[in-house]
Amino acid sequence: MINGIDVSHWQLVADWGKVSDAGYRFAFLKATDGMAGTDPSFKVNLPACRRARVLAGAYHFFRPLEPFGAQAEAFLTQAQGVSLAALDLEWTKTAVHEVEDWDQVSADSRMNYVRGWLEQVEAAGVTPVVYTSTAFIQQYLSGADFLSRYPLWIPRYADSAGELPAPWAKWTFWQHSCMGRVEGIVGKVDLNIFDGSEEELRFIFRDPG
């Protein structure tokens, strides 16, 4: 298993070289949020990450009340040159809404929106990964068998990844802590593990080595 991190504008990465020297081989960088939100740290982190030889993927925070096509296009525009894309599926209730955003979308529409984003990104030549929890899938995307085509990145802050959401039989990435301390990063950071070898990691990130 191989260690990695994920970051957004909430973290200040002062030195990617130190992150690499500390043994972290990959990172997911937040690129976009919905159809209009871009993470201001992405354009700085991506080239710095690559110079330090840390494998870099990007992630998108999905908003179910916004058009999935516009969200996919915003992501692809922001994350040009990235080969691995994580779709972040989690609760999105905002202060202006009385109910959870996902509850305002029908079950069929939820399936179509998520599948649409994944297929649009995949058609652009980028490999999708799905970041989500067992509880979220059980509540909002139960029966979404098409998700099994994509690697699972599961968050669970415990000694194991625990019960996996159907239809997945295994996880590929596991976010096991949100309280990590890593040399080169100011403050706390999410810690992840890749379930595979160095060669398999380079393959999924399309890195020739």
Q: Which residues participate in catalysis according to the annotation?
A: 100
Q: What does the alpha-carbon distance between residue 89 and residue 129 come to, in Å, rounded to a whole number? A: 11
The phi and psi torsions of 31 (rounded to 5 degrees) equal -105, -50
Q: Which helix (H) or strand (E) holds 201?
A: helix 198-204
* Angle separating helix axes 68-78 and 107-123, nearest 10 degrees: 30
How far apart CA 36 and CA 74 sit, in angstroms, is 7
3-state secondary structure (DSSP) of residue 129: strand
| CA–CA separation, 98 and 153 (whole Å) | 29
C-alpha 154: how far from its chain's center?
Answer: 9
Residue 186: C-alpha distances to residues 29, 56, 140, 178 (Å): 16, 19, 35, 14
Partnered with residue 174 across adjacent β-strands are 154, 193
Q: How far apart are CA 146 and CA 129, in angstroms?
A: 12
